[in-house]
Amino acid sequence: MGTDAAGDTRTIGGFDRAGRGFVAALFGGVGVAAGLVLPWLAGFAADHGWVPFGGPVRWLGSFDEPWLVWGRPLIGLALGLAFAAWVVVSSPVLHVAPDEVRVERRGSVERVIARSTVDGVHRAGSKVVIESPGGRVLFRDDVEGDRDAVREAFVAAGYPWEGPPE
């Protein structure tokens, strides 16, 4: 979370450097593990007809070239890192100011929500929900970061936070 030069806008969401590293390590590791267990999974699918997607799994596991011993984990790593990059880039970043909330994704402004259209802000599970006076949902998505910091950003800018402090 941060503030701009004027001090009245707070930035919440997105991934910091450590968060990006964690997501990359997590999805990259899952990709490597999937590449390592694919031959075993293919053998299991061949032995058990009830396994969903057994045909494609058997087909993927049937490639037995020597380079695939290390190639499958590398392909899994590449796919895992690509998915991690998509998750990080697609995560919303909110710039909360007293007069508006700007929602950014992929480095560009996706939506601007005027303060006059906001009747309440609350959490629904892990998602932040911004609603209009008529109950229309103006924003509903996961916002990365400390739950208290997210609440504090909205409260400090004068938005009505509904529900208990987190």
Express each pLDDT in 131-159 by its tens digit: 999 989 999 999 988 888 899 999 999 99
Total domains, the chain: 2
Phi (first) and psi of residue 63, to 5 degrees: -75, 115
Note whether residue 99 is domain-resident.
Answer: yes
Tokens of 133: 């006076």
What is the mean pLDDT of the segment spanning 4-29? 86
Quote the pLDDT of residue 7. Answer: 60
% of the chain exceeding 70 in pLDDT: 94
Greatest mean pLDDT among 10-14, 30-34, 55-59, 161-165 lies in 30-34
Q: Backbone dihedral region of 98: left (phi > 0), alpha (psi from -120 to 50 degrees) or beta?
A: alpha
Q: Kindly state whether residues 81 and 96 are assigned to the same domain.
A: no
Give per-residue pLDDT as tens, 38-82: 888 777 777 777 878 777 777 777 777 778 778 889 999 999 999
**pLDDT-derived band at 5, boundaries 50, 70, 90:** very low
- Domain-located, residue 2: no
- Whether 134 is covered by a domain: the verdict is yes
Query: Which pLDDT score, from 0 to 100, does residue 166 have?
Result: 59
pLDDT of residue 69: 79
103 and 151 co-located in one domain: yes
For range 27-33, the mean pLDDT: 97
What sign does the CA torsion over 133, 135, 138, 140 have? Answer: positive
User: Which pLDDT does position 147 carry in this prediction?
Assistant: 86
Whether 163 maps to a domain, the answer reads: no
Residues 96, 85 share a domain: no
Q: Does position 6 have pLDDT exceeding 70, yes or no? A: no
User: How far apart, in whole angstroms, are the C-alpha atoms of residue 67 and residue 61?
Assistant: 13
> Do 56 and 120 share a domain, yes or no?
no
Structure tokens at 103: 């929602």
The answer, as to whether pTM is greater than 0.75, is no
CATH number at residue 132: 2.30.29
User: Do residue 62 and residue 79 come from a single domain?
Assistant: yes
Q: Which domain holds residue 40?
A: 17-89
Residue 164 lies in a domain: no
Same domain assignment for residues 103 and 42: no
Assigned domain for 10 exists: no
**Per-residue model confidence as pLDDT tens digits over 86-133:** 999 999 999 999 999 999 998 888 899 999 999 999 998 889 999 999
Residue 44 forms part of a structural domain: yes
Asked which of 89, 122, 137 is the last residue of a domain, the reply is 89
